[in-house]
Amino acid sequence: MSRRVWPLSLAAREGVATARTGRWTSLLMVLAVTWIVAAPGAADAISVSQLMDDEQAWIDAGGYVFVVTGAREDNSQNPIPAPACESLASVEGIGASFALQRSDATGTLSYIPGGRVSLYDVSAGVLDFLDAAPAGGGVLLATTGFVERTGAADGDVVTIVRRGATNTVPVMSDPLTLRAVDTAVLGDEFDGALLVPAHLTGMAESCYVRTDAAHVSAVEEALPALLAYEGKPAIPNLRLFESDFTVDYTHAYEDRSLRWVWVPAAALLGLLWAMLQWFRRSHVAIYATFGMKPAARLVMQLGEWGVLAGFGAVWGWGLGVVGALALGAHPAQAVALVSFHGLLTVVGATALVVLLGLRPAGTLLNALKDR
């Protein structure tokens, strides 16, 4: 009866048996895989989470916000068409927008005499822009500085007393619901002022536009035409200053150094496997001496690698996620990046294992050469 020598299933079983009986060798290899799978992903997850926190703080401070004004001509500045600004929110890549017109009048709340503050008329889009809830009868947006100084509270129903610069006859508004908002995203100059949402139908002094990292370039390119006044393009300026010394969050994620950390991790695992195979070259020689062909030898080594890398990868994934979370990574980033790096590390190392397995093996007889 003719039977196949070293069928692949038998070779795979030998590999699994080698992993199972390998004691310290197998344990050390599993530990190495565990740490090499865990560490890069965890480090990257922590790094990306920190980057996201920094970017969010930057966005909260006005990142990705354009302040669009008209071009200057003859010592005066062209206005911005307020309805066009208000309608920008429907443009792809623009999250919210509103037009702003500084009022000549100053105002106070009727029940808080004195303390006149600047008033700004703003279009309705400001509510979305500053994430303020609307209310029946209209709202008045009070900045954090105003609220702290006057003791007014969110939800108070108030009336504004307007006083013109030259007209001393005060004008009282209808009752409005006060909303306390953080205007840091707009800049410090609004702190302590009141923003009055109004139906701006004509021209405005400026337009505030909020976009995101993916659309910032396209939006900057489109805004001059979208807010042109009498054919003259408007001028968009990012609210926050950018230079070579500030972080470019648009590309920070792609440019991060740890993005490719799985490559050296996979190479390190491959190196450890190569060292293990070198120290155990006589084992491979035994199989080669007893008729194991290269394909079966490769399957045997992959069987052993599969067991060791499988256990190591599962433990490494768990260790990496838990470690990243313990060190402050966001859960979604911890899971995604530990998985990403772990998978690529194991796949890359497996490719190296295959390459090493394809190398010719000596037989036991090679030992005679040393004598």
Partner 1 sequence: MRLSARDVSYTYPRGDHQVLAGVAFDIPAGTSAAIVGPSGSGKTTLLSLMGHLLPMQSGVIAAIGDDGRERSLADTASWVLQTVSLLPDRTAADNVAVGAYSDGASRADAWDRAREYLAAVGLAGHENDSARILSGGEAQRVAIARALASRRPIILADEPTGQLDARASATVLDAMIGAHGERTVVIVTHDPEVAARCNLVLELRDGVIYERARA
| 5 sits near partner 1 (criterion: CB under 8 A) | yes
Q: Which residues have CB under 8 Å from 196's CB, separation 6+? A: 103, 107, 119, 120, 121, 122, 140, 141, 160, 173
Nearest-angstrom CA–CA distance, 363 and 282 = 8
Distance between CA 353 and CA 312 in Å, rounded? 15
Question: Which positions ≥6 away from 203 have C-beta within 8 Å?
Answer: 79, 80, 81, 82, 101, 229
For partner 1, give the closer residue by CB, 3 or 74. 3
Residue 305 Cβ, how far from partner 1 at the closest point, in Å?
Answer: 16
272-301 positions binding partner 1, by CB under 8 A: 282-283, 285-287, 289-292
- Smallest separation (angstroms) from partner 1 to the CB of 5: 5
Name the nearest CA neighbour of 120 among 136, 92, 138, 143.
143
Which range touches partner 1 (CB under 8 A), out of 3-11, 36-44, 138-146, 218-226? 3-11
Q: Is 366 in the site for partner 1 (CB under 8 A)?
A: yes
**Non-local CB neighbours of 211 within 8 Å, separated by 6+ positions:** 64, 65, 66, 93, 94, 95, 219
Least gap, CB of 272 to partner 1 (angstroms)? 18
Determine the Cα–Cα distance for residues 72 and 74; give it in Å rounded to an integer. Answer: 7
Give me the least distance between CB of 249 and partner 1, in Å please: 53
Closest approach, Cβ 286 to partner 1, in A, equals 6
Beta carbons of 140 and 160 less than 8 angstroms apart: yes
Rounded Cα–Cα distance for residues 343 and 43 (Å): 15
Minimum distance from CB of 30 to partner 1 (Å)?
Answer: 15
Q: Which is nearer to partner 1, 7 or 137 (CB)?
A: 7
Tell whether residue 6 is a contact of partner 1 (CB under 8 A).
yes
360 binds partner 1, rule: CB under 8 A: no
| Shortest separation between residue 333's beta carbon and partner 1, angstroms | 41
- Closer to partner 1 by Cβ: residue 2 or 168: 2
Closest CA to 363 of 272, 291, 278: 291
Q: Quick check: 18 binds partner 1 (CB under 8 A)?
A: yes
Closest by CA position to 209, among listed 190, 189, 236: 236
Nearer to partner 1, 132 or 296 (CB): 296
AA letter at 287: Y
Rounded to a whole number of angstroms, the minimum distance from the CB of residue 11 to partner 1 is: 9
Question: Measured from the CB atom, is 111 or 290 closer to partner 1?
Answer: 290
Site for partner 1 in 128-147 (CB under 8 A): none
Residues 24-43, interacting with partner 1 (CB under 8 A): 25
Nearer to partner 1, 111 or 279 (CB): 279
Q: What are phi and psi of 178, to 5 degrees?
A: -80, 130
The two three-digit tokens of residue 20, written as one number = 């199972």
Amino acid symbol at 200 = L
Between 43 and 299, whose beta carbon lies closer to partner 1? Answer: 299
Is 365 a residue that touches partner 1 (CB under 8 A)?
Answer: yes
Strand 139-143 with 176-181, pairing: parallel
Asked whether the beta carbons of 222 and 175 are under 8 A apart, the reply is no
Residues that bind partner 1 (CB under 8 A): 2-6, 10, 13, 17-18, 21-23, 25, 282-283, 285-287, 289-292, 363-369, 371
